[in-house]
Structure formats: structure tokens, C-alpha cells
Amino acid sequence: MKTIFKGTFKGTMVQRYKGSKLTQKSIFFILFSLFYSLYSFAQEQDSTKVNKLDDVLVSAVRVTTKTPVTFSNMDKKEIKFRNLGQDIPVLMNYLPSVVTTSDAGGGIGYTGIRVRGSDATRVNVTINGIPYNDAESQGTFWVNMPDFASSVESLQLQRGVGTSTNGSSAFGASLNMLTDNYASKPTGEISSSYGSFNSNKNTVKFSTGLLNDHFELAGRLSTIKSDGYIDRGSSDLKSYFLQGTYVGKTTLIKALVFGGTEETYQSWNGIDGETLNSNRTYNSAGKYKDEAGNVHFYNNETDNYKQNHYQLHWSESWSDKWSSNFALHYTKGLGYYENYKYDEPIAGYGPILPTKMVENDLGELVPGTDLIRQKWLDNNFYGTTFSVKYKEEKLDAILGGGWNKYEGDHYGKVIWARNSGPSELGDHYYDDYSSKTDGNIFAKANYQLTEKLSFYGDLQYRRVQYKANSKETGLVNDTFNFFNPKAGLNYEIDQKSTLYFSYARANREPNRTDYEGGNVKPEKLNDFELGWRFNSEKFQLNSNFYYMGYKDQLILTGRLDDVGAPIRANTEKSYRLGFEVDATIKLSEKFILRPNFTLSSNKNVDLAVEGQYYGTTKIAYSPEIIAGNIIVYSPLESLHISLLQKYVGEQYMNNIELPSAKLADYFVNDLNVSYEIKPKSVFKSITITGLVNNILDKKYVSNGAMWDIYPYYYPQAGINFLAGLTLKF
């Protein structure tokens, strides 16, 4: 898992775990052995019941309209129309309460997502029920899994606390993804796209279909490259996905191996207001001066990372009422990012001899030199998840849980210095370690009290143990015990209309950077949801009020640590109060509207930061208005034309409402066209897709951050396009 701060400036949590480690070969052998054992067991089963058991993989974390939880779904059909190389957060941009951004400005490379104003560290992400968030930073780095959307069968975004799931608690939303289902017949697919900024994606997929009605092997290879909208904001991404499936009468076994490598030129510095007006694509990363004072940009100011995931799932339907899922997983992450440091103070770099005196952050003259450094991450994340489901006419109950372990080696190297002294190549100038154990168990149930009224209950116990030792955090050895209850009622007014109400409690541990701020406490959240769902043939409506009351929420202080990571501190009381609406309106056989909007008030109450009182202020990165709309016109069954619209209101980049910290509102329109041809031979289908982003060429900024009192911005691309061709056979 990748523990890197991703913001205006990027820092690395450098840690090292001291102890035994699992190798990728040993993990693969364990997974293969268990896969074979489970297959042998399944061959002996004697049952005539045939089930589509893929749903069992995520039944422990997903909900339906009978559950009093606020959610949105996206399936493969909806994803494919815009799947031309941009990351999953960008593809989710038009869901309710979602705001997305891209460092390089074009949706490829480092991208981010916020839901109800909560950033990625507060959005719990699972893949087939397996936690994906980085264990320490709690963030999600989609750049590590390029083109993963091509292997996603469906995804569900639960807003608010949602249901109990594995991994860190959801403080804004939870996102769970189900990878490709098995195919009964052989298939193949080749897709390529090209667009602005030399962006291109090439993907090859295959499936053997069910061999002997039981076995399937499927896979994908992808490459994505882009120069980026921002200067030198390039991405060179590669990924793979391989899945072996056994389907029995009552058994589904899946063994998955997937991952990717990424090399991105760093574009996370942002630009100041003056540069935004004069040269909005400027990128300061890699800038240095030679001995003659000439300005250059280091050509390897890059982030380099590879991540491999191994998953083994066994789903079993024991009877008409009982089913279960058991999973093992392992993730290996390894990589570094590299910086040219000009006039760098050498304190902390070991035996490097200075060539001159330079000024440090305190204005003092200290020994310094030019140098090139690498900050490395060598991480292991492994564990197990399980669930047992019981379902009858009135009761749908699940008992589940998981145990996961993170181990991290983080260290730094100086690979060149203008005068390197007695240091040797490969020497470490720091070595830190960390480990985190996260275990939970939950029980949840839907019970039909009457013909129209059902009750939902959900109890989770979670225990977290975190150890770390670094210059920034000091020695950390914390244990947290959390109890997270949830309950709600679902009332069916008639066959078309349903009311629901729910309450959910969540507790959350600090992330690694929070320990740099000193005395830090875990956060607490009480989430209340009141909603109405209406579903008819031509009109579907989901609306809900929510109140999210926080105690000891960790908020931005405006200070940054020595590598640019934001320091957060607990605030006594804060809340989010909002109203969300999304609808699907079928105007005719050819026209469909899909509008959504969110109105919200997000406040810190009696805010005091470092002894200074500010009263009631707006929570950072929390626009009061978020609206989206998709207009779909289908003049032919094979032709779809969509106008996608997104409005995001103004927002502050800090919690004390500095005028200079305000991001302006923006309204962006995209045009998406897809045309499918079904030949009579060779190919099953030929699909031509086009996407014009920001068709009105809006100059806008979707994200930024404060360096103390100074704002820095991430400008997004003006009008740009992507076009693709997909061949299926």
C-alpha cells in the first residue's frame, strides 16, 4: 500500500518495519494451494441448486433499496461510454455530492475525489470486499491501478457512514467495487483511444468462457500514456488483470492477480495566483540552477511505483438459506519518488560535504549543496475477510469481519550530490518503520417487521493497533477499540414509494501525519439520514436529508510539515447538514435526463486554532452547492449522445475563511458520443466513442491548498478530447 501525501505539495511517510516478511512467491504458493484445495472440496459437493454467486463477494458491504442507506450505483455499461483512459474518480464525477480533480489537469495520472466535502482519506474503498485505502495515510492512489475501470463489473458509492465494512471507517462515503464476472462463452476485446496532450490508451482483454462448464480464465493488459495539460505532467502507466474462476453447482472460487506500474512526472506543486493568470500550465517541479545561474528542469523529477494485488475468494451456497464468503489477500508495493534539491541544507543527510553556505527555513546560513534524493517505500499488506449470510422470507442477516496487517519499510537515498564526501551509493539517510493491525467483526440484519415496515441493525467492533517510529512522529504505539452501531427503518408507502431513516456511529483513528501535530485524538461521527425513494417506469427519484455531527474532527490548521504534508488538529465540534436529490427522467424513448444536486451547510463550531478563536466557520473544501446533470439522446438503438454538466460552488481551502483561501465556483460541460456497429462476421461489435471535455473551454480550478497564508492552485484543462475504438469478438 502506498503511504504518500497527495496535496499541493507531496511528502512521503518514511517508515521501516522490523520483523519477518512474506514474499510474493510464498503468498502466490499459498493462494494456489488453497485454490486447489477448495476446488477439490467443491467437486465433492452434492447439490442441484445453481446460483449466480458473484453477489456473495460483496453482499457483506453492499446495500439495496430495502436498506436505509443513501447510495448510488454504476455498472459496466455506464462506465464503458467514457472509459477512454481517465481514472475512476473522473468517471464518477457526475454522481451526487462528488467533486473530482486532477493534478496534471487532464484526468490521467494523480486524481482525487471528495464526497460531501470529505477527501479520499475519509472514503473507504474496497475491491471485492478487500480494503484498498493505504493503511497509514488512509488515502487512495488510483494511479497505482491504471485502467482498472476496464475490469470493474459494477461499483456502489454509499454516502455518509454507510454499512459496516472492512478497512478504515467511512467518514464521508464508502466505495466498493466488484471486478468482472465470469463469462460463459469465449470473448475477446481490443480497445484503443487517443486524444489531447498525446493521451492514449491501449487495452487487450480475453476470456476463455466456461471450459467444461466449470473453469474460466480471463485477463487484461493495458497501457496509458499522456503528456498532461500541466507542463511536464506526463504519465506512463501499465497494468494487468488476471482472473481464474471455478463455477460449481453451489460454489464460486476466484483467484485474482492484478496490479500496475506508474511513472509520473511530479505535478503536485500547484501554482500561485500570479502564475495562474499569466501561465496556468507552469510546473515548478524539478526546477534548479546550474553553477552559471541558468535555470533548468530536472528530467527525472518523477514518482515511480509498482503495486501487485493477490486475492482468493471462495463463495459457497450451503442451502436455500445459508451462504458464505471467505477471502485471502496480499498486496505488495514498492517504489520511490525522486527530487533534485537546489541549495539544500545538508542537516539530516549524513556524511555529505557542503560546497557552500545556504539559507534554511529559519533564515540561517548553514552548510548546503545541490543533491538528488529518492524517498522509497517498501510495503506489505495482507489479511483475510469473511462473511456468513442467512436469508429467509422476513430476515436477511450477515455475520462478517476481517483481519489485516500492514508492514512498512520507508527509507531515503542520496544518489548524487555536488560534493558527496565519504557517503556510499545506496546509503540511507533515514530509516523509519511502521506496522498496523486492523481487525473487525460485525453483524447486520434486515428484518421485515410488517408487510411495509422493515428494521435494519448493524453492530461492528473494530480494534486497531498502530506502531511507528520516525523523526516527524516520534515513537508511536497506540491501540484503539471502536464500537460502531447502526440502525434504521425502511417504510414502503406503496409499490413505487419508500421512506427510510437511519442512524450510524463511526469512530476513526488518526493517520500518520496527524501524529506530527502532537496530542491527537480519534474522531467520532454521528450520521443521521432521512430519505425518500420513488420508482416508476418513467421516473426515478432519490432524495435525502443528512446530518453528520463530528466530535474531535481532524481539520486543517494551515501549517505544513517539512515535506509539505498538511498538519491537522482536533476541533471540538463540527457538522455537515445537507439535502441531496438525484433523479432519472425518461422523457421519451429517445431522451433521458439524469439530474442531481446537493445543498449543504458545513461548519466548524466555536473554532479555535493554536489558541486563536475564530467562532463558527465553514469547513474547508466543502462547497454549499454541488450539481450535476446528464442529458442522453438516443436517436438510434446503437447511437448515444450525452451532454454531461457539473457545477461546483465556491469553497475555502482552509478553516478560518481567509479571503485569499477561496476557490471560485465553476460550471463545466462535456460531450460524449458512442456508436456501436454489429457486423455479421468476424467481430461481435465495433464501438466508436468520442469525448469532448470542457466544451465551453472554461478556465477553472478544481482544487488547491494553502502554504501557510499563501494559496496555490491546480488549474484544469480547457477544451480537450479523447476518441476511442473498441473491437469485440
* Tens-digit pLDDT profile for residues 162-202: 999 888 889 989 999 999 999 999 999 999 999 999 999 99
Instruction: Please report the pLDDT score of residue 569 as a whole number.
Output: 82
CA 229 – CA 107 distance, rounded (Å): 9
| pLDDT of 560 over the 80 cut | no
CA 197 – CA 722 distance, rounded (Å): 10
Instruction: Please report the pLDDT score of residue 514 as a whole number.
Output: 87
Instruction: Please report the pLDDT score of residue 61 as a whole number.
Output: 84
Q: How does residue 49 score in pLDDT terms, banded at 50, 70 and 90?
A: very low
Report the percent of the chain where pLDDT is more than 90.
78
Tell me what the mean pLDDT of segment 553-558 comes to. Answer: 79
* Tens-digit pLDDT profile for residues 532-555: 999 999 999 999 999 999 999 988
Please list the alpha-helical segments (H only) found in 365-418: none
Tell me what the mean pLDDT of segment 447-474 comes to. Answer: 93
Show the domain range for 481.
24-274+281-289+297-728
Tell me what the mean pLDDT of segment 669-675 comes to. Answer: 97
Task: Quote the mean pLDDT of the chain.
Answer: 90
Strand partners, 635: none
**DSSP E strands: which ranges in 536-653?**
539-560, 566-586, 591-609, 612-618, 625-636, 639-648, 651-652
CA 646 – CA 79 distance, rounded (Å): 17
Answer for the pair 417, 370: CB distance below 8 angstroms, yes or no: yes
Examine residue 176 and state whether it is found in any structural domain, yes or no: yes
Q: How does residue 34 score in pLDDT terms, banded at 50, 70 and 90?
A: very low
Of 183, 191, 175, 220, residue with least CA distance to 80: 191
CATH number where 206 lies: 2.40.170.20
Examine residue 127 and state whether it is found in any structural domain, yes or no: yes
Q: How does residue 14 score in pLDDT terms, banded at 50, 70 and 90?
A: very low
Strand partners, 535: 540
Q: How does residue 351 score in pLDDT terms, banded at 50, 70 and 90?
A: confident
Q: What is the DSSP letter of 354?
A: P
Amino acid at 70: T
* Tens-digit pLDDT profile for residues 302-326: 999 999 999 999 999 999 999 999 9
More confident residue, 118 or 10: 118
Tell me what the mean pLDDT of segment 444-465 comes to. Answer: 97
Q: Is 418 helix (H, G, I), strand (E, B) or coil?
A: coil
More confident residue, 456 or 681: 456
CA 566 – CA 572 distance, rounded (Å): 19
Tell me what the mean pLDDT of segment 443-462 comes to. Answer: 96
Helix (H), strand (E) at residue 701: strand 701-707
Report the percent of the chain where pLDDT is more than 70.
91
CA 397 – CA 643 distance, rounded (Å): 41
More confident residue, 496 or 612: 496
Which is it for strands 685-693 and 720-728: parallel, antiparallel or unpaired? Answer: antiparallel
Integer angstrom CA distances of residue 149 from 81, 96, 102, 193? 11, 19, 17, 15
Examine residue 531 and state whether it is found in any structural domain, yes or no: yes
Examine residue 10 and state whether it is found in any structural domain, yes or no: no
* Tens-digit pLDDT profile for residues 388-415: 999 999 999 999 999 999 999 999 999 9
| pLDDT of 59 over the 90 cut | no
* Tens-digit pLDDT profile for residues 505-515: 999 999 888 88
CA 390 from centre of chain: 31
Examine residue 4 and state whether it is found in any structural domain, yes or no: no
CA 537 – CA 540 distance, rounded (Å): 8
* Tens-digit pLDDT profile for residues 409-424: 999 999 999 888 888 8
Examine residue 522 and state whether it is found in any structural domain, yes or no: yes
| pLDDT of 37 over the 80 cut | no
Examine residue 16 and state whether it is found in any structural domain, yes or no: no
Instruction: Please report the pLDDT score of residue 561 as a whole number.
Output: 63
Q: How many domains does the chain have?
A: 1
CA 670 from centre of chain: 23
CA 354 – CA 238 distance, rounded (Å): 40
Tell me what the mean pLDDT of segment 514-539 comes to. Answer: 92
| pLDDT of 44 over the 90 cut | no
| pLDDT of 52 over the 70 cut | no
Amino acid at 711: P
| pLDDT of 660 over the 60 cut | yes
CA 650 – CA 644 distance, rounded (Å): 20
Q: Which three cell numbers stand for residue 342?
A: 537546489
Instruction: Please report the pLDDT score of residue 480 as a whole number.
Output: 96
Answer for the pair 224, 200: CB distance below 8 angstroms, yes or no: yes
**DSSP E strands: which ranges in 86-133?**
98-102, 111-115, 123-127, 130-131
- 622-636 as b/e, with b when 16 or more CB fall inside 10 Å? bbbebbbbbebebee
Q: How does residue 612 score in pLDDT terms, banded at 50, 70 and 90?
A: confident
| pLDDT of 709 over the 90 cut | no
| pLDDT of 577 over the 90 cut | yes
Q: Which three cell numbers stand for residue 492?
A: 414502503
Answer for the pair 444, 458: CB distance below 8 angstroms, yes or no: yes
Tell me what the mean pLDDT of segment 454-459 comes to. Answer: 97
Examine residue 528 and state whether it is found in any structural domain, yes or no: yes
Answer for the pair 486, 398: CB distance below 8 angstroms, yes or no: no
| pLDDT of 559 over the 80 cut | no
CA 614 – CA 552 distance, rounded (Å): 16
